[in-house]
Homo-oligomer: A and B are copies of this chain.
Amino acid sequence: MGIQERRERERERRRQQILVAAKRVFSNRGFNKATMEDIAKEAELSPGTLYLYFKNKDELYASLSLRILQYLMIRLEHVNAEPLTDAAQRLKALKSAMYDVYEFDPLILINMFHMQSSETLKNLSSDLLNQIESLSRSSLQVMARIFEDGVRQKMFVAHHPNAVADTLWSLFSGIVLWETSKKTIDNQKDYLRETFDTAFEIFSRGIMRQ
């Protein structure tokens, strides 16, 4: 391992250390209340150091999303790679993938949806914005391909695959945000899984041929 490579690795480790701290602080103090100093303290680094790894606060926040998008992508590709047998099973695999994404990191997922629904997006460096965008676009395309295949195999009712993917994605993000908000207000327990079950059942029934 060359010295260059080791440095690169060390640098990546630091980045992760900061992201982990950021996630923790963000989850404790909430999106707006978390300060760079909080994060620095949590990461046991100085504020200045954060800026060696992330251009500014928005970019640090946004970077949290990339990881989960990458995870989503991997899971979706797996679903797509499995031999096509039966529509119901396909959808089940898809549902399972999405739920895993939620469990992988609920807080960051909410963060991501939150960010997408705000004007924060406009302030990101075009580089990062492009990454997020392209990854999120590809994910939707992979999803769309699943539905496309299904339609071709006469398992799914004919719809524009992109629109179906958008529907599923909206359903998913809507549930995540809505259930989170209910949890915030009521301190209720986490009903997300149940809501998602019903929602998915309806969705499945809605797109599968009888």
Interface residues of A in 149-193 (CB under 8 A from B): 157, 159-160, 163-164, 166-167, 169-175, 177-181, 184-185
A interface, over-half SS: helix
- A53 close to B (CB within 8 Å): no
Most buried by B among A33, A167, A175: A167
A166 CB contacts on chain B under 8 angstroms: 175, 178-179, 195, 198-199
Is A203 interfacial (CB 8 A cutoff)? Answer: yes
Q: Is the CB of A169 within 8 A of B174?
A: yes
B185 touches A121 (CB 8 A): yes
Assess whether B117 is in contact with A117, with CB atoms less than 8 Å apart.
yes
Contact residue among B31, B119, B174 (Cβ-Cβ distance under 8 Å from A30): B119
B110 to A117, Cβ gap below 8 A?
Answer: yes
B-facing mask of A31-64, CB < 8 A → 1, else 0? 1110000000000000000000000000000000
Once the chains bind, are A177 and B177 in contact (CB under 8 Å)? yes
For chain A, residues 83 to 135, give those with C-beta under 8 angstroms from any C-beta of chain B. 110, 113-114, 116-122, 129, 133
CB within 8 Å for A117 and B121 given contacts A173-B177, A207-B202: no
A164: B residues at CB distance < 8 A:
198, 202
Q: With the chains together, A75 CA to B140 CA distance in Å? A: 33
Any chain B CB within 8 A of the CB of A70? no
A204 at interface by CB-CB < 8 Å? yes
Contact B129 A185 (CB under 8 A): yes
14 example contacts (A-B, Cβ-Cβ < 8 A) are as follows A31-B118, A33-B119, A117-B180, A117-B181, A121-B181, A121-B184, A122-B184, A133-B185, A163-B198, A166-B199, A167-B195, A171-B199, A202-B203, A203-B203
Closest 10 CB pairs of A and B: A174-B174, A206-B206, A170-B174, A30-B119, A202-B206, A163-B198, A116-B181, A167-B199, A117-B177, A205-B206
